[in-house]
Amino acid sequence: MILITAPVHDFFLDSLSKKGIDFLYEPTMRYPQLLETIQWATGIVVSTQIKIDKNLIDNAPHLKWIGRLGSGMEHIDVAYAKSKNIICESSPEGNCNAVAEHALGLLLNFYRNINTSILQVKNKQWLRDENRGTEISGKTIGIIGYGHTGSAFAKLLSAFNVTILAYDKYKTGFGNEFVTESSEDEIIKYADVISFHLPLTPETYHYASDDFFQQLKRKPVIINTSRGSVIESKSLLTALQNKWIYGVLLDVLENEKLDTYTSEEKEIFEALIAFENVMITPHIAGYSHEATYKMSRVLLEKLGII
């Protein structure tokens, strides 16, 4: 039996049914319920709502694979699962274009005052000079992390007459006519925009902290559509307050459960959203109808079900 603990496209369920594979579709399932039912599972599909830890894995004697809808495996103890001969697969190919489009949308919105001016018109204000925008053309865009989403973002940007600098610690030889393979130092020195496309690992946790922001040379716009903890929130606020950066465009936060905030977290969040040059969306970059289908298909293919 396969446990599906996250929303999937109907294509995923139909594919299992056609193969005669038994499944339990419980997209609202949480850890306590999963702990009781995982003992019967041969496979499990998850997103980011449940942490697949050693305890769960030890209670799953028949488990053969763990399928992650989307990218990022930080919620899964992959090393322990593999020690138990459990296959772990993700599907970043499925939503990378959706994330790239969202990052580009945030940047266009920010530079051209789109959201601000729409709200003004709704309030019967017709302000043209006050909303004179800035073009992306001619800018230098730094991409940190050149996996599926980083490269998808670069592909979209290639139509905008920009200089694209990309850095990936674990990848080389990816430069082309549109993308210059660069170092982190070059991005820090030359980029007008810096976009993060990193997985969350012990190495990337708080990748952008005080030291990173203090080195920036061109007061760039910061974009993060990867994982919230790649950027240290307190350091981000300090960078804004000191005008080390021109703007902040986020789709992720260190803690996305706003009702669980400590007094310090609440203070930082309130201070961030008070800035006019800060835009935050609720972790929806990878949430498109097309991505839902593509992630399901990619995962099914990787697991050998279709």
The residues annotated with a catalytic role in the active site are 227, 265, 283
Judged by DSSP in three states, 279 sits in strand
Q: 168 near 150, Cβ under 8 Å? A: yes
Q: Is the four-CA dihedral 260, 263, 264, 267 of positive or negative sign?
A: positive
Nearest to 97 by CA among 7, 225, 206: 225
At 269, which helix (H) or strand (E)?
helix 263-273
Judged by DSSP in three states, 62 sits in coil
Nearest to 208 by CA among 190, 188, 235: 235
Total number of residues shown for the chain: 306
Judged by DSSP in three states, 225 sits in coil
Q: How many CB atoms lie within 10 A of CB 252?
A: 21
Q: 85 near 44, Cβ under 8 Å? A: no
Start-to-end C-alpha separation, the chain:
17
How far apart (Å, rounded) are the C-alpha atoms in residues 276 and 252? Answer: 18
Tokens of 26: 């419980």
Q: 272 near 233, Cβ under 8 Å? A: yes
Residue identified by tokens 């050693």 is 54
